[in-house]
Each structure stands twice: as C-alpha cells, then as structure tokens.
Amino acid sequence: MTIKNNSLIKGTYFPPGDKSISHRILILASQTVGKSEISNLLEGEDVLNTLKAMKILGANISKKNKKYVVFGVPPGGLFQPNKPIDFGNSGTGIRLICGLIASNNIKAKLIGDRSLSKRPMKRVTVHLKKIGAIINLKKDSYPPIQIQGNGEALPLKYNIIIPSAQIKSAIMLSALNIKGQIEIKEFKTTRDHTENMLKAMGYNIKVKEDNKYRYIKMINDKDLNSLNYNVPGDPSSAAFFITAACLKPGSKLIIKNMLFNKTRTGFISTLKKMGAKIKILKKKKVNFELVADLKIEQKKYLKPIILEAKDVPLQVDEIPILSIAASFAEGKSIFKGLKELTVKESNRLLLIHQNLKKMGVNSEIKGFDLHIYGSNNLKKGGANIVHHNDHRIVMSFYLANLICIKNNIIRDKSCVKTSYPSFFHHILKYLH
C-alpha cells in the first residue's frame, strides 16, 4: 500500500492487546489452580509461542468465544517436555519461561529462530544459576538454552544492574516455586506488569522505592488465585499511530483503553516535550494496571528533543518511531544511551541510523547516542529499507512514508506478525 505524504491520521483507535502483559498473564494463569479467562489477548506470533510453550509444560489452554480459558498447573507441577520448546523470535517468552523452569525439577531445551539465537541470555541465566539451576548456552550466552531446574531451590537476594523487566520477571517467576522470602533490588525502574499481576492474583508481594532503588519482596506462602483478565491496549503498538498523528498537523485521533502504566508511557512525555498535543480523557485502574483514553489533535510541527539515557528504559521499544518524529522536527535531536537497542531483534540503533540516511535524513551515532538533524521539509524517501526482520523497524519506516516525497521500499513485511498482525489493516482504516 502506498502512503501519500498529505495523508492525516483520523478516527477512534482501539490498540491490540499489550504484548508484555499477554506473555505474563498466560504464564501466571498457567501457574494457578482453577479456571482463568483472558480477553483481548494479543494473537501475535511471539505470544502464541508462549501459549504453545505453556501447553507443553502442562497447562490446559483453549479459545472459546474470543476468550482464552486457562486451567493451570501449580508451581512445582510443570510437565517434563518431550521435545524442544520453540519460541520463534520471542526474547520475552524464552527468558521468562527459562525463569519459570529454573525452580522446577524438569529438564528442557529452549530454542528459537536465527534472530533469537543471536540474542544474549546470560544476563538472565547468571541469576538463575544462583538457585542451583544447571544451564548451558551456545558460546556461553546464546540460545539454544539447555536447562535442568532445581526443585529444591532456596530463597536469595538479587541486585539487578541491567535495567531489564525480562531479567526481573524471570527471577520472580522462579520464586513461585521457592519457599521463603526472595528480595530483588533494581537500580533503575523497569516495567512492573509481573508485580501488578501477582498482586491481582493474591500473592504476597511488597514493592518500595526511594530516589536510587526499587525494592521487591516476595514471600511464597500461598497459591496464586485464578482470575478473569482483560488485556489493555498495547502502548508500544499505539505509539506508531500516536506518533504518526503528532507528525502531521491536522490529524485527530482518539485512543481507547490503552495501558497507561508509568513504566510504558515515557514516549508520551517525550512527544509532549516535542510539542505534541496529547490529552488524557479518562483513567481507571483494572487489576492494578492503569488504563486510559487519549486524544491527539495536532496543529503544529514537532520540536527537536534531547532524550537522556535514564529515560530510555521507559520507552525503549518506541525509539524507532520516535526517531522518525525527530527527523521531521526542525533542529538537532539527541537520543542518549541506546546500548539496549543493539541487542533487540536486530541492532536497532544501527538500522535506524542507516535507514534514516538512506531516506535523506542526516544522522550520526556517537558511542551509544543517536544524533538526528531534522527539518520540517519532506524527505526524499525511496530507500530500500534494511530491517533484518525486525517488526518495529518495518512499522516505523513504513510510517516514515508520511513525510517522504517517494515511498520507501520495504520487502517482506511479514515480521509485523510478531507483535501487531493487524498493523497494515489499521493503517488503511485510519489514514485519510
């Protein structure tokens, strides 16, 4: 589909179910005794691979009337898999379930596709080995993961230096089968969906913060309660449409039922600093998660931004589309401390830089900082976009066509099925 550079974004938009929450609710519901019902689950490939993994590990999961029904197995009751568990391209799925297995007395081989086999796992497994899990990796860091869990693991204290919700959640999932108290200290705040879900399921968990650290205390003294859970709209998916609307003065977009967790909405603050007119219509809490409706009504071009490294973890998945926004903002934008982007589905830092240059935007990488020299002029476009099957690179540079004289060329866009299968359908619906 060709995008005209005079197109605007208009309509009432319901984002697909949140990807991070979809992974976690499937895993945690599979650790309860009883029946859980999940609505608005993201049916992207990554999440469906997590679903398949939990079925292999003993959960009974079926779809009825657009809802997923889960009958779980309690902590310590995971089934011994009779084949390798394939996670495709899902870094979240393989890391979280590695944590779950680590404290269960089973042996498993966790595999993935070519891209996943190049993503570092040691950052997670180094913590899981502390509870006695035996873990072997390719070249000491990469999948496949061979893991023998320790069903008699003892509680520990953890200091997490790398700001990663996946590391933290893997440790927390391992704690579900460890009697006693586990303590986790985070040096930077990361996504807290696992904590919120555990609270909603009646787990004994306490969270405290000060100016430097975030402290999590888990006491495993009772079973998780089953629950009915409606997955809120994914802000990382919505970010593409929100940013696109902010790019084009005259756009008007209403967002419904979007997750508004403070660890996921850093990009909203960034866009506002750039001059975006984003209004929160209403907020409510459901299962300890904040959900909101938003309104975007853009009248002016965006301004450049300096994004500090400390703010990157709260919007790490949105950097690709924010880079498109920066390219259409008059002046120099700097995104600092983007090291984490180099170990995503691709080296996103490098691909953003290379593809911006191809479509006529001056850009530089200095260390792990990205400098973008933007302007309100249309870009030449017509670039052959290199994406290495990274869904967020594909979606970002597809929407970049809104500001290009000639549409960029993107071959094989199927990787968007990873997180947003209905992406192109939604573009047709909201472009005017």
Positions annotated as catalytic residues are 317
209, burial (CB in 10 Å: exposed 0-12, middle 13-18, buried 19+) = exposed
Q: What CA–CA distance (Å, rounded) separates 125 from 123?
A: 6
Q: How far is CA 224 from CA 72, 204, 401, in A?
A: 10, 9, 47
* Cβ neighbour number for residue 263 with a 10 Å cutoff: 16
Strands 60-64 and 252-259: unpaired
At residue 390's C-alpha, the angle toward residues 24 and 429, to 5°, is 80
Q: What CA–CA distance (Å, rounded) separates 219 from 155?
A: 9
Q: Which residue has the tokens 């970002």?
A: 396
* Cβ neighbour number for residue 418 with a 10 Å cutoff: 23
Q: What CA–CA distance (Å, rounded) separates 298 from 303?
A: 13
Q: How far is CA 269 from CA 16, 214, 262, 282, 411, in A?
A: 21, 22, 10, 17, 33
Among 387, 356, 383, 381, residue whose Cα is nearest residue 371: 356
Contacts of residue 64, Cβ cutoff 8 Å, sequence gap at least 6: none
Tokens of 61: 């999961």
